Chains A and B, each alone.
Chain A
Amino acid sequence: MKEYMKEGVRTDSPFIRLSNISKSFAGIKALNGIDLEIKPGRIYCLMGENGCGKSTLIKIISGVYAPDEGEIELDGKIMKHMTPKEAMKKGIEVIYQDFSVFPNLTVAENISMNTEMTRKTKIVNWKRIHSQAQLAMDKLGIALPLDETVEHLSVANRQLIAISRAISHDAKLLIMDEPTTALTKCEVDALFEIVKRLNESGISIIFVSHKLDEVMQLSQEIVIMRNGEKVADGNMTDFTKDKIIYYMTGRKLTNTSYRIPQNVNSKITLEVKHITQKGGFSDISFSIKENEIVGITGLLGSGRTALANALFGISRIDSGEILLDGKRIRLRNVRNAVLNGIAYVPEDRLTEGLFLNQPINQNIAVTVLDKLSNKIGLVKSASIRNMSLEWIKRLHVKTESDELSVHFLSGGNQQKVVLAKWLAINPKILILNGPTVGVDIGAKTDIIEMIKSLAREGMSIILVSDDVSEIMMCCNRIMIMRSGRITEEVMAENINETELYNKIRVQEE
């Protein structure tokens, strides 16, 4: 591969060259000695698991972050202190996951506003706004109504608007961050057609993803990152699926999926019958036994998070019933759920799971303060520290002290703290929503192993996630949700990652 790169340099001068780029946050190296060249007119794919430094690298290329060390050479010129504005001027455009479109403005306004705003005149030229927008869409070969308000458009169309906006001024490098997350299979295909078209017109593209099939289908070049380092790069034809997985995870992918232990007599713990929540999900029925890890997956907005929230009493169901150990329970609020032995690791640990400026021990003890206190509500700080130290040890939370604020911890260790606070109540049902999002590989393995061993000991676990590999690695049974309903249920042993991936994305008829 190295040989290949050297040849490449000779034949073709790169549009942008990064050499030995490093960047740290809070003393933790997010990027370590990255060398990267982007040649004009190629489709690159930047791969790596969550937390490997992909986003940081993009932000350095687009001038949002300044590297601590290293050099950026853009169009043959060495850039010192590159700002996002300069990067844009040079033709680097980033489309972030949320597209950053203005839902209350029209299609034309969204596409042309940026360039119109940078013009010196104070008067808005509506004719030019329209013609520019039309031009950009023509380049992509799409046709959206120019005067439609963007909030009325689908996710896929919003993305097209973001792309149109990016190319409406002279883009040379288009970076797309996880562009397929919320798209159906059909929409993904359409997007790829557009990407190829752009590429043919000479624009380089960096496609950021951790979804193998998509990447192999689209890209010409591949760059793989792990733990802040570039571990491999080269021509896509030199890579096989197994090789990519090996580089991404640092280990051979073995069939580590979870199976219910044999010769145990598992009882049904949680059963829901025809539960419906208006605007969330409808007519959901399923049951889960001890020792089971059930995956609930689906696209963004399929109702998976709404269902998880309802099972934890965060929002109420409108009809149907929930049974725990055969007895009907009513979940009016979170407290009801917790008292019934239901625990929930929420989707966004920063805003929903953690008290960032409080010490680790308080974050862990929060669920058991009532148990740790005596009759008049006194809590010994020693008992809080002891119990939290025990959990810190059991879950391998990397920290100097239990009295450190949680915001000093890395994502993976923060997630372990959230997990610890729930394991402390010894729940019967553990619901996890995207437990390894933004978590480094080491902690991810720890967390997944922890989940499996809890299930082996008898806990019922519901894993809500859109990360197919996470679901496949953990669950013995998988339910797929679409438009608020469970559309399919499969046993994990009867399906592989690609099949599951395609099932989730099947275009709705």
Chain B
Amino acid sequence: MNNPREKVKLFWSNSLKKNSQLYILINIFFGFFILMSVLMPGTFLSRGTMQSMMIQLPEFGIYALAMMFAMILGGIDLSIVSIGNLSSIIASQFMLNHMVTHMGGTGNVKIVVMGICIALTVGAACGFFNGFSVAVIEIPPMLATLASMSIFNGISTVLTKGASLQGLPEEYSVIGGKNLFGIIPMIIIIFLAIALLAYFVQKHTKLGMKMFLIGSNVKAAEFSGINHNLIIIAAYTFSGLLSAIAGIVLTSRSMSAKMDYGLIYQLQAILAVVLGGVNPKGGSGNVWGVVMAVLSLQVLSTGLNILNLAPTSYVKNLIWGLLLISVLVINYYADRKKKSIR
């Protein structure tokens, strides 16, 4: 028993027994990681690759968490990327119109802070709109957010005429460009902080608990006196808010905003959430599961890039789609097995 290896084994089996899905996900992550390291030891394990992964991961991860809030309710949010783009476009236009043109000085800090606030407000408002359509008008989430995706994209296109907005104030790049201790990007800290916050909201606040209960059985929730409409609106608003943050992260990293940035994240986010153990029917899921799924998919995505197996985003889309179906199929059979044991 004193053998440290035994201890680690014991820890693994005890602390993760409760959460076997998380255990599987950690194994998947290490599996992908080791696979990529073995396939291309020189390139994959290089500092450059690691850093590029850490830079791409946060926006994807935050979008996935945004998606998670909708899917815990048994809903879905097809407009997350559109919200991210719309809010950062409106914020960018504000910053471009008000920034002090001459370089240097601290004049732009205020403008940048205001720009970020505007982005967050727009994101929350878009999310509120989604929540209102789903909860009060009772439009199925799939249709409500499909329509709003189109609306938000449309507004973005009208505002920018489809062009990318560039020349954002230098101060804005602090978020996306800064590294902590020279190696860890700031945005990955932001991502982890948001994950922690999401975990906290879901597991330790009444709001989060009610979200799970509504996702589990909305009628029983109503019959228990839960104000389900308010909670549904809150969840979608949260989703919108997180989407806006993902948009900010993306634009401050690339220092530009455009209506079609990061479209691939829409499907990828659903994939990460489902792979992360959230039941698409609602009522279950764990932030750390989704985070592990995001890490795994990022490793896979970067690996495919380096191997040049998926040269275009179309091929990647194909792979994500296949993966999503596979995960759903595996979940279906795992579920059936569980039921037949009962």
Binding site for B on A (CB under 8 A): 25-26, 312, 314, 334-335, 337-339, 344, 346, 351-358, 362, 365-367, 369-370, 372-373, 376-381, 421
Would you list 16 pairs from A and B whose C-beta atoms are within 8 A, ordered by A residue?
Answer: A25-B342, A335-B225, A338-B224, A339-B225, A346-B223, A352-B220, A358-B283, A362-B212, A365-B209, A369-B209, A373-B205, A373-B206, A377-B205, A377-B206, A377-B207, A381-B204
Closest-CB distance, B228 to chain A (whole angstroms): 9
The complex places the Cα of A88 from the Cα of B168 at a distance, in Å, of 77
In the assembled complex, B216 has its CB within 8 A of some CB on chain A: yes
A335 to B223, Cβ gap below 8 A?
no
Count B-side interface residues using an 8 Å CB cutoff. Answer: 24
A356 to B204, Cβ gap below 8 A?
no
Kindly report which residue of chain A lies nearest to residue B216, judged by CB atoms: A355
B225 to A354, Cβ gap below 8 A?
no
Partner of A379, one of B205, B226, B284: B205
Kindly report which residue of chain B lies nearest to residue A369, judged by CB atoms: B206
Query: Which residues 190-234 of B have a CB within 8 angstroms of A?
Result: 203-207, 209-210, 212-213, 216-217, 219-227
Assuming A335-B225, A335-B227, A421-B224, is B217 touching A362 (CB within 8 A)? no
Closest-CB distance, A369 to chain B (whole angstroms): 4
The complex places the Cα of A373 from the Cα of B209 at a distance, in Å, of 11
Binding site for A on B (CB under 8 A): 203-207, 209-210, 212-213, 216-217, 219-227, 279, 283-284, 342
The complex places the Cα of A356 from the Cα of B283 at a distance, in Å, of 10
Closest-CB distance, B69 to chain A (whole angstroms): 16
* Contact residues in B for A380 (Cβ distance below 8 Å): 204
Closest-CB distance, B226 to chain A (whole angstroms): 7
A355 to B204, Cβ gap below 8 A?
no
**Known A354-B220, A356-B217, A377-B206; 6 more pairs at CB < 8 Å:** A334-B225, A352-B223, A353-B220, A355-B213, A362-B209, A366-B226
The complex places the Cα of A341 from the Cα of B311 at a distance, in Å, of 64
* Contact residues in A for B225 (Cβ distance below 8 Å): 334-335, 337-339, 367
* Contact residues in B for A356 (Cβ distance below 8 Å): 216-217
The complex places the Cα of A314 from the Cα of B206 at a distance, in Å, of 23
The complex places the Cα of A335 from the Cα of B219 at a distance, in Å, of 13
* Contact residues in B for A381 (Cβ distance below 8 Å): 203-204
A370 to B223, Cβ gap below 8 A?
no
Closest-CB distance, A27 to chain B (whole angstroms): 8
Partner of B206, one of A26, A312, A351, A379: A379
* Contact residues in A for B221 (Cβ distance below 8 Å): 355, 366
B283 to A355, Cβ gap below 8 A?
yes
Kindly report which residue of chain A lies nearest to residue B225, judged by CB atoms: A338
The complex places the Cα of A265 from the Cα of B226 at a distance, in Å, of 35
Q: Which one of A334, A354, A372 has the highest number of Cβ atoms from chain B below 10 Å of its Cβ?
A: A334
Closest-CB distance, A68 to chain B (whole angstroms): 14
A334 to B342, Cβ gap below 8 A?
no
* Contact residues in A for B209 (Cβ distance below 8 Å): 362, 365, 369, 379
The complex places the Cα of A372 from the Cα of B205 at a distance, in Å, of 10
The complex places the Cα of A353 from the Cα of B219 at a distance, in Å, of 8
* Contact residues in B for A355 (Cβ distance below 8 Å): 213, 216-217, 220-221, 283
* Contact residues in A for B227 (Cβ distance below 8 Å): 335
Kindly report which residue of chain B lies nearest to residue A353, judged by CB atoms: B220
The complex places the Cα of A421 from the Cα of B225 at a distance, in Å, of 11
Assuming A351-B217, A366-B224, is B206 touching A357 (CB within 8 A)? no
Nearest 4 A/B pairs, CB to CB: A338-B225, A355-B216, A369-B206, A373-B206
Partner of A352, one of B205, B206, B213, B219: B219
Assuming A369-B209, A378-B205, A379-B205, is B222 touching A26 (CB within 8 A)? no
Closest-CB distance, B222 to chain A (whole angstroms): 6
Partner of A357, one of B203, B219, B224, B284: B284
* Contact residues in B for A338 (Cβ distance below 8 Å): 224-225
B220 to A26, Cβ gap below 8 A?
no
A358 to B213, Cβ gap below 8 A?
yes
B217 to A354, Cβ gap below 8 A?
yes
B213 to A372, Cβ gap below 8 A?
no
* Contact residues in B for A344 (Cβ distance below 8 Å): 223
B283 to A357, Cβ gap below 8 A?
yes
* Contact residues in B for A365 (Cβ distance below 8 Å): 209
The complex places the Cα of A351 from the Cα of B217 at a distance, in Å, of 7
Q: Which one of A352, A365, A366 has the highest number of Cβ atoms from chain B below 10 Å of its Cβ?
A: A366
Kindly report which residue of chain B lies nearest to residue A348, judged by CB atoms: B219
Closest-CB distance, B212 to chain A (whole angstroms): 7
Kindly report which residue of chain B lies nearest to residue A380, judged by CB atoms: B204
Kindly report which residue of chain B lies nearest to residue A407, judged by CB atoms: B342
The complex places the Cα of A284 from the Cα of B306 at a distance, in Å, of 75
A334 to B223, Cβ gap below 8 A?
yes
* Contact residues in A for B284 (Cβ distance below 8 Å): 357
A358 to B216, Cβ gap below 8 A?
yes
* Contact residues in A for B220 (Cβ distance below 8 Å): 351-355
A358 to B212, Cβ gap below 8 A?
yes
* Contact residues in B for A358 (Cβ distance below 8 Å): 212-213, 216, 283
The complex places the Cα of A221 from the Cα of B212 at a distance, in Å, of 51
Kindly report which residue of chain A lies nearest to residue B224, judged by CB atoms: A366
Closest-CB distance, B311 to chain A (whole angstroms): 42
The complex places the Cα of A351 from the Cα of B283 at a distance, in Å, of 14
* Contact residues in A for B206 (Cβ distance below 8 Å): 369-370, 372-373, 377-379
Closest-CB distance, A400 to chain B (whole angstroms): 14
